[in-house]
């Protein structure tokens, strides 16, 4: 029983309790417990085996949750969850993931219309049944219909960050096999897509039976879907399917290229091969002469591409967008690397809704090798986060001045703010306050359902404010949770370029905003991108790698990203804003 599975169980119990309008303190206890468990580096199963009494020493884990953890570890199930599922089918939880449908409304749909899954919800909306319920309306019905697609996608594909955690657990488990000669992950995971539908593991092994037996014993296994001579598929309790393929060494590169994809990239590649009288598949590259096929290459991806006089393409670029044109022109970009990032310019502290103090965030950033950060707590409009008014933000900035004096040249903390763009337009803090900042992020948190022209004008107004440095998470989307708001990004980018402003690639795995397509568009406009974590905790600083992965999919180099520069170079780039 893995930590993730225990955390998922607690989250599921919280969802079911909330659906039944249970005591909110009970719901919160399970949610907090799930969060603590996901952040825990030590395996709960090891703690239970060593000394179960240590469980109550974990922050947020009381006696009740500790007993449930011990039961899950030792038996693999929890009677409380089974009892809840007897009353509310697990499929109902998908309804709660539809944007705009909270537990209370989902419960009404379940009780009044018998809606138990997304398909039934869609049918009820199309039949006009939902609008007849108290508290619902025709507009609500249309909003639900749009949101169903988001909820359905969340059921089918998981965040890359979540897939990565699972993938590393699977690889770690398989590495115990001494017969493995090579092993790599392929598919959309390797290409770094924002979401992943399944995992593909390719292996060269001297003992196929051993590797498959080990694969069948992966932690969190739910079922073995199928097992053949060279391929085996399993499903984990999370619902994710993992496919294992054992391939010969001479075909490993060809198989890795083939199963990495994308489909469009491979179609282009096969077309180029046919023009040369070649054939490319997962087994290798072959010279075709009538009915005769002669093996030419396949052991490595590099030699597969070389048969077509092509360079090796970084997996993130393999979407059949511009990679082949770049290759033909000899201009394949040198993609940005995580170690190129020198500063993180979006993070929050306990002054608003962060979990760590200013000093703790500074120490954590230095520990990770960064040279500068910007502290960007929320402005006053974000009341739920305890946003800063002018007096509080100036007090924080005074503290930063004192801290910088102590740090000297070793590290720099920029005085920043994430300042809301108000619903009516204009900034949440007066210009005389913003003028004192080193770094001002402008963001839209409220009024995201406004018409396209109105949201666009709000953002354009922020870009025209002389004290604003960059736009944070420019489209406001949350992957698998909330669609982007309707904004004219062509106008936004034109204005950003004209005003010398920057756009953020928010590295939080739920956001990754701007997406790869828009980041590539920003590059064409000549707008520097800022990759920032939006960290609300010390661990949140580790999200930088997700942003870098997204930037690589956009074809960005270190020159395209503002915070690969030194702090002094960054200050020169943004002119009077630092």
List, for residues 250-284, the tens digit of each pLDDT value: 999 999 999 999 999 999 999 999 999 999 999 99
- pLDDT exceeds cutoff 70 at 576: no
Map residue 503 onto helix, strand or coil.
strand
3-state helix, strand, coil in the chain (%, to 5): 50, 15, 35
Q: What is the CA radius of gyration of the chain?
A: 26
- The correct CATH number of 261-328 out of 2.60.40.420, 1.10.510.10, 3.40.50.80, 3.30.210.10 is 3.30.210.10
Euclidean distance between CA atoms 14 and 31, whole angstroms: 6
Nearest to 253 by CA among 283, 275, 273: 283
For 153, list phi and psi in degrees, rounded to 5: -65, -35
Please list, in sequence order, all residues whose beta carbon lies within 8 angstroms of the beta carbon of residue 549, skipping any fewer than 6 positions away: 160, 192, 316
Mean pLDDT of 408-412: 92
Euclidean distance between CA atoms 281 and 255, whole angstroms: 8
| 198 pLDDT tier (thresholds 50, 70, 90) | very high
List, for residues 425-455, the tens digit of each pLDDT value: 999 999 999 999 999 999 999 999 999 999 9
Which residues of the chain are in CATH 3.30.460.10 domains? 158-246
Hey, what are 27's tokens? Answer: 């719901």
378 contacts 352 by C-beta, under 8 angstroms: yes
Residue percentage of the chain with pLDDT more than 90: 79
Terminal-to-terminal C-alpha distance of the chain: 50
What is the full DSSP assignment across 187-255? Answer: HHHHHT-SEESEEEEEEEES-HHHHHHHHTT-TTEEEEEEE-SSEEEEEETTS-EEEEEE--GGGHHHH
500 contacts 531 by C-beta, under 8 angstroms: no
- pLDDT exceeds cutoff 80 at 74: yes
Which residues, in sequence order, are bridge partners of residue 554?
none
CATH fold for domain 3-156: DNA polymerase; domain 1 (1.10.150)
Number of other residues whose CB lies within 10 A of the CB of residue 100: 12
Which residues of the chain are in CATH 3.30.210.10 domains? 261-328
506 contacts 512 by C-beta, under 8 angstroms: yes
Hey, what are 328's tokens? Answer: 């033909």
Residue with tokens 């059921």: 155
Nearest to 200 by CA among 238, 231, 157, 173: 231
| 577 pLDDT tier (thresholds 50, 70, 90) | very low
- pLDDT exceeds cutoff 80 at 33: yes
- pLDDT exceeds cutoff 90 at 488: yes
| 375 pLDDT tier (thresholds 50, 70, 90) | very high
Nearest to 284 by CA among 253, 245, 309, 263: 253
Euclidean distance between CA atoms 494 and 498, whole angstroms: 6
Which residues, in sequence order, are bridge partners of residue 335?
557
List, for residues 211-241, the tens digit of each pLDDT value: 999 999 998 899 999 999 999 999 998 889 9
Number of other residues whose CB lies within 10 A of the CB of residue 317: 23
Burial (CB count <10 Å: 0-12, 13-18, 19+), residue 402: exposed
- CA 156, chain centre distance (Å): 15
Map residue 491 onto helix, strand or coil.
helix
- Ranges 135-144, 215-224, 480-489: which has the least confidence: 135-144
Please list, in sequence order, all residues whose beta carbon lies within 8 angstroms of the beta carbon of residue 30, skipping any fewer than 6 positions away: 10, 11, 13, 14, 17, 65
CATH fold for domain 158-246: Beta Polymerase; domain 2 (3.30.460)
Q: What is the pLDDT of residue 101?
A: 80
Q: What is the pLDDT of residue 419?
A: 98
CATH fold for domain 338-577: TIM Barrel (3.20.20)
Q: CA torsion sign, 568 to 571 to 573 to 575?
A: negative
Residue with tokens 């060279």: 230
List, for residues 497-534, the tens digit of each pLDDT value: 999 999 999 999 999 999 999 999 999 999 999 999 99
Euclidean distance between CA atoms 564 and 521, whole angstroms: 19
Mean pLDDT of 324-339: 97
For 333, list phi and psi in degrees, rounded to 5: -70, 150
Mean pLDDT of the chain: 94
Hey, what are 273's tokens? Answer: 């091969």
| 87 pLDDT tier (thresholds 50, 70, 90) | confident
Cα 84 to Cα 22, 73, 93, distances in angstroms = 12, 20, 12
Element (H, E) at 412: strand 412-420
Mean pLDDT of 106-129: 91
Q: What is the pLDDT of residue 328?
A: 96
Q: What is the pLDDT of residue 94?
A: 82
Q: What is the pTM of this model?
A: 0.86
Please list, in sequence order, all residues whose beta carbon lies within 8 angstroms of the beta carbon of residue 334, skipping any fewer than 6 positions away: 557, 558
Q: What is the pLDDT of residue 140?
A: 85
- Enter the DSSP assignment of 386: T
Euclidean distance between CA atoms 107 and 243, whole angstroms: 37
| 374 pLDDT tier (thresholds 50, 70, 90) | very high
- Across 247-368, where does the E strand assignment appear? 278-281, 284-289, 292-297, 343-344
Q: What is the pLDDT of residue 260?
A: 98
């Amino acid at each position: 029983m893995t930590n993730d599975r225990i955390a998922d169980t607690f989250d599921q119990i919280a969802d079911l309790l909330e659906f039944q309008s249970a005591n909110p303190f009970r719901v919160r206890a399970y949610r907090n417990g799930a969060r603590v468990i996901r952040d825990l580096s030590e395996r709960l199963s090891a703690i239970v085996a060593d000394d179960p009494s240590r469980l109550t020493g974990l922050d947020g884990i009381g006696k009740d949750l500790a007993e449930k953890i011990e039961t899950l570890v030792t038996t693999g199930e929890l009677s409380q969850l089974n009892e809840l599922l007897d009353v509310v089918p697990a499929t109902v939880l998908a309804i709660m993931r539809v944007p705009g449908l909270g537990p209370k409304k989902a419960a009404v749909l379940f009780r009044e219309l018998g809606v138990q899954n997304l398909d039934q919800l869609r049918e009820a909306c199309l039949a006009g049944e939902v609008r007849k319920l108290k508290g619902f309306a025709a507009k609500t019905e249309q909003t639900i219909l749009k949101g169903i697609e988001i909820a359905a996608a969340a059921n089918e594909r998981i965040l890359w960050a979540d897939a990565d955690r699972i993938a590393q657990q699977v690889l770690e488990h398989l590495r115990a096999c001494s017969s493995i000669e090579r092993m790599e992950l392929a598919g959309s995971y390797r290409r770094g897509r924002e979401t992943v539908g399944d995992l593909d593991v390719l292996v060269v092994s001297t003992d196929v039976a051993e590797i498959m037996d080990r694969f069948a014993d992966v932690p969190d296994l739910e079922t073995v879907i199928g097992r053949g001579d060279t391929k085996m598929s399993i499903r984990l309790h999370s619902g994710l399917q993992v496919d294992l393929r054992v391939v010969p060494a001479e075909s490993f590169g060809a198989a890795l290229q083939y199963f990495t994809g994308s489909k469009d990239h491979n179609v282009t590649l096969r077309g180029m091969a046919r023009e040369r009288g070649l054939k490319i598949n997962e087994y290798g590259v072959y010279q075709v002469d009538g009915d005769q096929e002669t093996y030419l290459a396949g052991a490595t991806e590099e030699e597969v591409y070389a048969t077509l006089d092509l360079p090796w393409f970084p997996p993130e670029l393999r979407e059949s967008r511009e990679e082949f044109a770049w290759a033909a022109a000899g201009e394949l970009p040198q993609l940005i690397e995580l170690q190129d990032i020198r500063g993180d310019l979006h993070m929050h502290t306990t002054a608003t809704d962060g979990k760590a103090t200013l000093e703790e965030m500074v120490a954590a950033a230095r520990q990770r090798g960064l040279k500068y950060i910007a502290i960007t707590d929320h402005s006053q409009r974000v009341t739920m986060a305890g946003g800063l008014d002018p007096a509080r933000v100036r007090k924080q900035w005074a503290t930063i001045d004192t801290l910088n004096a102590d740090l000297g040249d070793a590290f720099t903390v920029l005085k920043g703010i994430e300042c809301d763009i108000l619903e009516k337009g204009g900034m949440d803090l007066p210009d005389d306050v913003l003028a004192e900042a080193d770094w001002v992020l402008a963001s839209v948190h409220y009024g995201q359902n406004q018409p396209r022209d109105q949201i666009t004008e709000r953002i354009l107004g922020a870009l025209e404010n002389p004290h604003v440095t960059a736009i944070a998470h420019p489209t406001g989307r949350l992957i698998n949770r909330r669609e982007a708001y309707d904004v004219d990004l062509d106008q936004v980018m034109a204005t950003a370029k004209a005003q010398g402003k920057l756009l953020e690639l928010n590295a939080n795995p739920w956001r990754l905003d701007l997406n790869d397509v828009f980041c590539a568009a920003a590059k064409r406009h000549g707008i520097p991108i800022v990759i920032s974590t939006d960290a609300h905790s010390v661990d949140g600083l580790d999200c930088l790698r997700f942003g870098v992965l997204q930037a690589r999919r956009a074809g960005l180099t270190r020159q395209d990203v503002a915070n690969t520069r030194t702090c002094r170079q960054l200050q020169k780039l943004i002119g009077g804003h630092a």
